[in-house]
Homo-oligomer: A and B are copies of this chain.
């Protein structure tokens, strides 16, 4: 892989044309990189940001803490995700960011983002688009948490991750890397780890999905999608000019 931002650029290119000059500008945004161990909080809710995090390699997630130690995971972030790009305009961040696996993170200074978006308005819209896509994913999860059963929630997650990982070429056949514990799965889906366990069992026995040694294997994608009422429109997988 030639550049630090290649995976991110690849995601943009699914949705729109990205010129070489724009790709170079993105690569130029990143002034340093840092490695983190697994299970490390990188940004804490309430902080003021002057740079945004691009996840180069590894898995991460964003979450909110509640009073008594409960947490809600808001979104899983995959290699190539610009994790908190919205911090560029929000400034004060409303949630924390943590690694799930050992991860390499690159940093883009907000001053540089401002310069680049002024000089290259189309690239600016592409970055804006990425934050709007995040919001669309949030909306799908509002719907999932508000309306779907335990089975539907887990099915939704697997369908979504499969699509998002496929963009980066991170799905092999029907399998992809999946480093969440069942407790963390519960924090994503708003369920207890005990009920996650039972629901996974029923999905397994129905021949839809299994999780084995940190990998998901989807055995019946059609039925899994039906179980989730999965409609990928919200992922904006079509190419169109912005």
Please count how many residues in chain A sit with their CB below 8 Å of the partner chain's CB atoms. Answer: 48
In the assembled complex, which residues on chain B have CB atoms less than 8 Å from the CB atom of A45? 233
Tell me which residues across on chain B come within 8 A of A67, comparing CB atoms: 229
Cβ B133 vs Cβ A229 within 8 A: no
Asked if residues B89 and A147 are in contact (CB atoms below 8 Å), the reply is: no
Pairs A–B under 8 Å by Cβ, sample size 17: A64-B140, A66-B147, A70-B147, A72-B147, A74-B139, A89-B242, A90-B136, A91-B242, A92-B238, A94-B140, A94-B234, A114-B125, A121-B124, A131-B132, A134-B135, A142-B142, A145-B146
Q: Which residues of B contact A92 (CB under 8 A)?
A: 233, 236, 238, 240
Asked if residues A133 and B90 are in contact (CB atoms below 8 Å), the reply is yes
Contact with B along A35-71 (1 / 0, CB 8 A): 0000000000110000000000000001010110010
Contact among B128, B136, B145 with A142 in the assembled complex (CB-CB below 8 Å): B145
Name the B residues within 8 Å of A234 (CB-CB). 94
A118 to B242, CA, bound (A): 13
A residues near B, CB below 8 A?
45-46, 62, 64, 66-67, 70, 72, 74, 86, 89-92, 94-95, 114, 117-118, 121, 124-125, 128-129, 131-136, 138-143, 145-147, 189-190, 229, 233-234, 236, 238, 240, 242
Q: Is the interface of A mostly helix, strand, loop or mixed?
A: helix
Q: Are B64 and A143 in contact (CB under 8 A)?
A: yes
Let me know if A135 and B131 touch, CB within 8 A: yes
Q: Which of the listed residues A67, A143, A236 has the most CB atoms from chain B within 10 Å of its own CB?
A: A143
When distances are taken between beta carbons in the complex, the residues of chain B under 8 Å from A190 are 145-147
Contact residues in B for A229 (Cβ distance below 8 Å) = 66-67
